[in-house]
């Protein structure tokens, strides 16, 4: 039973009631929670208050919000949610280690062997990412950012490297999505990789290598710090 709140600490009160609904099993794991309009009416709160409460539970790992998919219950136990987040972040570190090894080498080779078609494709990916940001289309942004990295690997002109990277694409795409979710709000301009594109365009192997090392290193630092929270 949902009780209407008073006006003191509304966000906290709504979050507590929502957590009770999850723990009690009224809102089941892997199922969507009711629509915003319905919850605003039931809790007698504004949209902003409701969204802040939902964000709090997303941060706690009990809920997960995905654009176009609504908000889903991910765990009915705060401790379980914490452990799941830790495991997920640990797997992210492993993925980032693999990305560093493959993408740093690919960037150096791409800076040597890239052709005009490769550069045009990279530019198209960057522009598509910009458009996705303007439209707030995260799915498209992730798709085009993944394609950007894939294009660099293909531009390496090293078939073995391409073959090693290809099976990892789905995992890499998922890691990009996870990193975006962990780093909300995302600084999209930093994710457009303009300096990396410039290094490859200018055939600057050292700059390309340094960019990938620093970029992946910064992501690993962010994930490690989040694991300690």
pTM of this prediction? 0.61
Q: Tell me: the pLDDT tens digits for 96-128?
A: 888 899 999 999 999 999 999 999 999 999 999
For domain 84-228, which architecture applies? Up-down Bundle (1.20)
Task: Report the first-to-last Cα separation within the chain, whole angstroms.
Answer: 33
Which residue would you say has higher pLDDT here, 172 or 109? 109
For residue 229, name the pLDDT band (cuts at 50, 70, 90): low
Cα–Cα–Cα angle for 130, 120, 199, rounded to 5 degrees: 80
Cα 89 to Cα 57, 175, 229: the distances in Å are 18, 9, 12
The domain made up of 10-76 has a fold known as: Arc Repressor Mutant, subunit A (1.10.10)
Which distant-in-sequence residues (6+ apart) come within 8 Å of 11 by Cβ? Answer: 49, 52, 53, 56
| CATH 1.20.120.530 segments of the chain | 84-228
CA atoms within 13 A on the CB side of 8: 0
Which residue would you say has higher pLDDT here, 10 or 108? 108
Q: Tell me: the pLDDT tens digits for 42-60?
A: 999 999 889 988 988 887 7
| CATH 1.10.10.10 segments of the chain | 10-76
Question: How far out from the chain centre does Cα 210 lie?
Answer: 23
Q: Tell me: the pLDDT tens digits for 187-214?
A: 555 668 999 999 999 999 999 999 999 9
Q: What is the mean pLDDT of the chain?
A: 84
Rama region for 70: left / alpha / beta (φ>0; ψ in -120 to 50; rest):
left
The CA distance from 28 to 25, in Å, is: 5
User: In this prediction, what percent of the chain has a pLDDT beyond 90?
Assistant: 41
Please report the pLDDT score of residue 203 as a whole number.
Answer: 97
Query: How many other CB atoms sit within 10 Å of the CB of residue 6?
Result: 9
């Amino acid at each position: 039973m949902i009780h209407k709140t008073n006006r003191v600490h509304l966000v906290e009160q709504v979050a507590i009631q929502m957590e009770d609904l999850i723990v009690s099993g009224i809102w089941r794991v892997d199922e969507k929670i009711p629509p915003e309009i319905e919850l605003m009416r039931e809790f007698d709160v504004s949209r902003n208050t409701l969204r802040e409460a939902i964000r709090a539970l997303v941060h706690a790992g009990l809920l997960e919000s995905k654009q176009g998919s609504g908000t889903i219950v991910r765990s009915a136990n705060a401790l379980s949610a914490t452990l799941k987040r830790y495991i997920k972040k640990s797997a992210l570190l492993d993925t980032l280690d693999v990305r560093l090894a493959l993408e740093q080498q690919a960037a150096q080779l791409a800076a040597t062997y890239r052709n005009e078609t490769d550069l045009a494709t990279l530019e198209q990916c960057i522009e598509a990412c910009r458009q996705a940001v303007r439209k707030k289309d995260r799915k498209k942004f992730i798709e085009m950012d993944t394609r950007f990295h894939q294009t660099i690997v293909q531009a390496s002109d090293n078939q073995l490297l391409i073959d090693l990277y290809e099976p990892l694409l789905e995992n890499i795409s998922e890691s990009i999505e996870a990193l975006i979710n962990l780093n909300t709000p995302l600084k999209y301009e930093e994710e457009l990789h303009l300096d990396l594109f410039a290094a490859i365009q200018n055939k600057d192997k050292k700059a390309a290598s340094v960019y990938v090392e620093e970029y992946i290193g910064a992501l690993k630092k962010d994930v490690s710090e989040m694991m300690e929270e």
